Structure 1
Amino acid sequence: MNKKTIIITLVGILIGAVAGYLYYHYVGCITGTCVITSKPINATLYGALIGGLLSNSLIKTEKKNF
């Protein structure tokens, strides 16, 4: 992994965490029985996970020829 890959992944994690919290804040779960959106920490961590995975999957890697 190079520096560019790490920075892109961290930005994706940050954006995902913010999006997860905003989803909790504006949509959330009224009954409190929703596993992901019932607590802000759960929604934030889930958003960070998804953001990191998505941003990391968009990174093009160089193929090594043997």
Structure 2
Amino acid sequence: MNKKTYIVTGIGVVVGLIAGYLYYQQIGCASGTCAITSKPLNSTLYGGLMGGLLFNLFVSKPKK
């Protein structure tokens, strides 16, 4: 893995963290029974994970 991979994935994690928290804040779960969106920490961490995975798709693999 090179430096570009870490940078792009890191940006994705940060974007995902922000999006996850905004999702909790705007939509959330009123009843408290939702596993991911019932707490801000869960929603934020899940968003960061998904953002990192999504942005990692856009990194080109080095040719051998």
- Whether TM exceeds 0.5 here: the answer is yes
- Structure 2 Cα separation of the partners of residues 62 and 4 of structure 1: 11
TM-score by length of 2: 0.96
Alignment of 1:1-66 (within 5 A): 1-64=1-64
- Structure 2 Cα separation of the partners of residues 3 and 60 of structure 1: 12
Report how far residue 19 of structure 1 moved: 0.1
- Aligned-residue sequence identity (percent) comes to 59
Matched letter for residue 15 of structure 2: I
5+ residue gaps, structure 2: none
Give me the CA root mean square deviation: 0.6
Runs of 4 or more consecutive aligned structure 1 residues displaced over 2 Å after TM superposition:
none
Matched letter for residue 19 of structure 2: A
5+ residue gaps, structure 1: none
Report how far residue 42 of structure 1 moved: 0.2
Aligned length: 64
